[in-house]
Amino acid sequence: MGSIYLIRHGQASFGADDYDVLSPVGIRQAEVLGAHLAQLGTRLDRSLSGNLRRQQHTANTTLEQLRAANIDAPALEVDAAFNEFDADAVVRTLIPGMLAEEPEALHILRNGPSNRAEFQRLFAKLIGRWIAGEHDQPGLQSWQGFVEQVNGGLERLLEQADSKQNIAVFTSGGTITALLHLITGIAPAQAFELNWQIVNTSLSCLKFRGSQVSLASFNSHVHLQLLKTPELITYR
C-alpha cells in the first residue's frame, strides 16, 4: 500500500495584516518536522501543496531538512485543490446575519488575538452555518463546493500515484477536515470538532491502494512533543 502524509502548515501570522505568512514559531515547527522525518529516514516519492505561501513555506523548509541530511527529497508540486477554504470570505459573508444574536461579533473578530476563546467560539458558530448549507450566497464558495475541490485534488493524486509511493501533502486544517469527511464518512460538524484539534505541522496518514483510501493515523505531533517545548504546539 501507499501512504499519503497530510501535513498541516506551520503557525501562520494570526492577527497580522497578512495571515498567509509563517510566524517564527511556524518556521521552527517546519524545521523540527523535517529534522524528525530525516531522523526516521523517511523517503518521499512526491510532495505537493496548495498555492498558499504558508503551505509552500512549510513544505520547502521541511524538504530542506531532509536534503541537509543527505536524503533525496522531491521537488514541490502545486495543486490549488489543496488550498484552505477562504475563511475571511465566510466571515464577511455570514457575519451580518448573526449580528442580531451576536451584537459584539464585530468587536470580537477585530480583537481576535487578544480574545482567542471568544474568537474561536464565534468562528465555530460561523463555520456551523457555512457547513449547514442553509446560508449559501452568490460569490461564496459553499462547503459542498469546497469538498468537491478537495476531492478533485485527491482523485488526481491517486490517478498519478504508484501503489507503493510515499506522498506528502502540505496543506491546511480545513482541507484535512474535508478529507476526513470524504474518507471516513464522518459528518461535517463532527469533522470540524476534530479540526479544532489539528496541531500546526501535525501529520495525518492515509493508506491507499488504487482508488481505495483509509485513515491510518490522525494529528500526530510527536516531533513537537519530544522537544518538551509547549509553545511549539499551536492550533492556528
Q: What span, in angstroms and rounded, lies between the C-alpha atoms of 74 and 59?
A: 11
CATH class for the region spanning 1-84+164-236: alpha beta
Confidence of residue 42 (pLDDT cuts 50, 70, 90): very high
* b/e burial code for range 17-50 (CB count within 10 A of at least 16 → b): eebeebbebbbbbbbbbbbbbbeeebebebbbbb
8 Å CB contact between 164 and 209: no
Q: What is the pLDDT of residue 17?
A: 65
Query: How do residues 188-229 score in pLDDT, each as one tens digit?
Result: 999 999 999 999 999 999 999 999 999 999 999 999 999 999
Decide if pLDDT at 112 tops 80. no
Q: How many residues does the chain have?
A: 236
Residues 125 and 118 sit within 8 Å (Cβ to Cβ): no
Using a 10 angstrom Cβ sphere, with 0-12 exposed, 13-18 middle and 19 or more buried, the burial of residue 201 is: buried
- For the chain, give every domain's residue range: 1-84+164-236, 86-145
Distance between CA atoms of 20 and 49, rounded to whole angstroms? 14
Within 10 angstroms of residue 108's Cβ, the number of other Cβ atoms is: 17
The reported pTM is 0.94
For residue 212, give the 3-state DSSP assignment.
strand
DSSP 8-class letter at 14: T
pLDDT digits (tens, 9 = 90+) for 140-199: 999 999 999 999 999 999 999 988 999 999 999 999 999 999 999 999 999 999 999 999
Beta-sheet strand order (sheet of 46-49): 76-78, 46-49, 166-171, 2-8, 203-209, 212-220
With bands split at pLDDT 50, 70 and 90, how would you rate the model's confidence at 116? confident
The CA distance from 168 to 96, in Å, is 39
CA pair distance 214, 184, nearest whole angstrom? 7
* Residue 176 pLDDT: 98
